[in-house]
Structure 1
Amino acid sequence: MTPAEIIADLDTALSHFGADAVLRRVTWAGGNSTNDDVTVRIQARGYTPRELTGNIVQGDTKVILSPTQLVAAGWPTVPQTDGTDARVPRKGDKLVIAGRVRNVEAAAPIYVGGELLRIEMQVRG
């Protein structure tokens, strides 16, 4: 399968079995904050007891999302200056699921052939 086919399969699965959420990056300039929001399709579930290790605690949520909406929206509008992929959520970003704001604790991007295919996140709150 090509990376495009893998992303298309993920998008199809998320369209059928996922939910909409808002990914938010808060940026500060001159003492003022602005929200850089993008609506994304996600699959969210709680962690199993066996997965509660390290920094993962009871009540955290595992979230899977596709890069499709991020790329289409040009999210985030402010690029990273440290060389990391700006499309990948980072600690401190927010994910609003069903009106509830959660904090991104960690994100694991999955690449094939240098192309971002999927993002798995740990959110809390």
Structure 2
Amino acid sequence: MAMIQSKRVYEAVTDNDGQRVLVDRLWPRGISKADLSDVNWCKEVAPSDALRKQFHQHPDTFTEFRQGYRQELAAHPEYWQQLLVIAARETLTLLYAAKDTEQNNAVVLAEFLEDELDRRGDSSSPVCYADER
């Protein structure tokens, strides 16, 4: 079975990475586009600027950030549905630039996608997946 994992964009590529996708709204500092030429940049799936800035200013509010980001994701399945297709097929590595490896947008996105894969398995949400027939 495929899996979803998150990893700092500054870490070395490994054979276990599978499909690598950058999920930050801003391009990571110190990394050239050539360095990530094999990586898809999916910035629309990142948290909104307002949510990102709020969390950056108040890092102790991760629970609120997680809740807000999950609401944004739920409202825009068009931003992450292609990631589900990849995750169902192969390992998906979500790349992020944040220093905190446990409290960041990629971790929340990975959890959200795992939940969606679980829901998809029992087809509890046919409307969301109607366009994939």
Q: TM-score, normalised by structure 2?
A: 0.27
Kindly indicate which of the two structures has a greater share of residues assigned to helix: 2
Higher relative contact order (CA 8 A, sep 6+): 2
TM-score scaled to structure 1, two decimals? 0.29
